[in-house]
Amino acid sequence: MTEVRVPVDAARPHTWSVTWGLDGTVISCAGTEVGRFAQAPDYPLILMLDLFETAGPSPSPTAYPKTAVIHRVRGWSVPA
């Protein structure tokens, strides 16, 4: 796991992508690479989405529960 900070408005939709293969794993947000790792999975995967609040002052109790909307998810497989 890693923390990624992206200079975008979190209230607007953004396209995230993850690609992996023999060269490693690349994570992008809105077309900008935000992470590159030498390792890549070589086994079946599942998709888990989660949001974490990691910085800033503690919000007031009335600021919760916070929500997020997943607009769409797409997966594909490239033949070996």
Q: Which domain range does residue 35 map to?
A: 16-63
Q: What is the DSSP letter of 33?
A: E
| Contact yes or no for 14/29 (Cβ under 8 A) | yes
More confident residue, 80 or 49: 49
**pLDDT for residue 52:** 67
Whether residue 31 is contained in a domain is answered as yes
Half-sphere exposure in the Cβ direction for 19 (13 Å, CA): 8
Q: Which residues of 17-31 are buried (b: 16+ CB within 10 A; e: fewer)?
A: eeeeeeeeebbbbee
Whether residue 10 is contained in a domain is answered as no
Number of domains comprising the chain: 1
| Confidence label for 67 from pLDDT (cuts 50, 70 and 90) | confident
Whether residue 50 is contained in a domain is answered as yes
Whether residue 49 is contained in a domain is answered as yes
